[in-house]
């Protein structure tokens, strides 16, 4: 296989969380709406996400950004042994879909999600700096501080 011909994945690979002694486990997750419907960035949906994530005890959500057609979040397990990240994402996607405040002609969510375990503390800061600028790059606001559909529920700290 030449360097330019990588296999194309139809679905993301989901590796189990890697636990290494007392090192932090922080996951970076991206979830998209079905057909990239622009329906997520509104006050009601933002409140719904915050309520569901606050009430959940399996994973703690740190920083997040809700875009019109996708969202990014950082989360960390809140129970040991670590529960399946995929099962947790499916849980809250299902709850959001059943409580969604807008009328939709089709399903809300894309079938899967993308996730990546961060390997070092610098990675959290770097990823956040990229993610928080998404609304600016999309032309929705001039400054990340102007985007009202982002925040932090729990402070996720890195321990080496």
Q: What is the pLDDT of residue 158?
A: 75
Per-residue pLDDT of the chain (160 residues; tens, 9 = 90+): 455 665 555 554 444 444 454 556 899 999 999 999 999 999 999 999 999 999 888 999 999 999 999 999 999 998 888 889 999 999 999 999 999 999 998 999 998 999 998 876 667 888 999 999 999 999 999 999 999 999 999 999 876 5
Residues contacting 3, CB < 8 A, separation 6+: none
SS3 state at 82:
coil
Q: What is the pLDDT of residue 15?
A: 47
| Torsion sign (Cα): 25, 62, 77, 10 | negative
* DSSP per-residue letters across 127-149: HHHHHTTHHHHTTS-SSGGG-SS
Q: What is the pLDDT of residue 52?
A: 95
Two tokens, residue 120: 């070092």
Q: Going from the N-terminus, what domains does the chain have, and what CATH number goes with each?
A: 27-152 (3.30.70.1290)
Q: What is the pLDDT of residue 82?
A: 84
| Torsion sign (Cα): 135, 147, 144, 111 | negative
Q: What is the pLDDT of residue 4?
A: 60
Two tokens, residue 26: 């922080």
What is the Cα–Cα distance from 103 to 89, expressed in whole angstroms? 22
Q: Are 136 and 143 in contact (CB under 8 A)?
A: yes
């Amino acid at each position: 296989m030449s360097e330019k011909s990588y296999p194309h994945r139809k679905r993301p690979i989901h590796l189990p969380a890697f636990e290494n002694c007392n090192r932090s486990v922080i996951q970076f997750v991206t979830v998209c709406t079905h057909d990239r419907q622009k329906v997520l960035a509104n006050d009601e949906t933002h409140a719904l996400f915050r309520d569901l994530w606050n009430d959940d005890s399996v994973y703690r959500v740190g920083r997040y950004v809700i875009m019109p057609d996708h969202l990014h979040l950082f989360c960390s397990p809140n129970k040991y042994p670590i529960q399946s990240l995929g099962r947790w994402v499916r849980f809250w996607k299902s709850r959001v879909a059943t409580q969604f405040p807008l009328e939709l002609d089709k399903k809300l969510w894309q079938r899967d999600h993308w996730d990546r375990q961060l390997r070092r503390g610098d990675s959290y800061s770097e990823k956040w700096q990229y993610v928080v600028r998404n609304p600016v790059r999309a032309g929705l606001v001039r400054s990340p501080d102007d985007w009202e559909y982002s925040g932090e529920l729990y402070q996720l700290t890195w321990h080496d």
